[in-house]
Amino acid sequence: MVNAHDLLWGMTPAHLPADAPAWVLEAIGAGHPVVVRRAIAEPGHVAVGVRGRLREQRFAAQMPLPAVQRRVAPEALRGVISPRDLPALRTLDQLRAVLAQESWGVTGSAGFELATGIEALHAQSDLDLILRTPLRLERGDAQDLLAILDTAECAVDLQLQTPFGAVALREWANGSRRVLLKTVSGAHLVVDPWQAVA
């Protein structure tokens, strides 16, 4: 079972479409993992994204599930300590205690770097986190958590993973009547992210 933000190893250049850019072939050829994205894939495949060295280098593809050799979930990265000294990594160190009782993980550039050792973070990088929330997180609790995150040294982008998709903590905490829920079938404006999209 693979989930959005999992990192997968085992994709080869043969799995890429013929029009894949050179940088994508280079990343896959170097053995870099791909990240599971929220999208509908063909049967027996998973929708993935390939990361390049530059921020704008992101490529959507599909990976055959039998090709997956290794999977690392965001939760597996929360205890990984990096030798590098950067705001995002210092922020991660500070937040481990705050989130200790929760089911959470590291995604984005920080997750990629912690999983691979490939330098993906820089001094201005945000810290991307995911918090598993199978049960509804009340808005007051969301506001309390956001207030703590907003004292961090770098910007923290935390996604709440509900049983039906993901919603930004910041958006849920700010009190909008409807919020954007990212699902496999696309993004939907919903009143309650903990309810199935009609």
d(CA 97, CA 108): 20
Catalytic residue check, 128: yes
Among 67, 62, 92, smallest CA distance to 78 is for 92
Long-range contacts of 155-158 (CB under 8 A, 24+ apart): 155/126, 155/127, 156/91, 156/95, 156/126, 156/127, 156/129, 157/108, 157/126, 157/127, 157/128, 157/129, 158/128, 158/129, 158/130, 158/131
Three-point CA angle 6, 11, 12, nearest 5° = 160
d(CA 65, CA 1): 10
Selected catalytic residue, list 126, 144, 150, 192: 126
Selected catalytic residue, list 128, 144, 150, 157: 128
d(CA 43, CA 113): 30
Phi, psi (degrees; rounded to nearest 5) at 179: -125, 160
d(CA 23, CA 147): 39
Among all residues, which ones are annotated catalytic? 126, 128
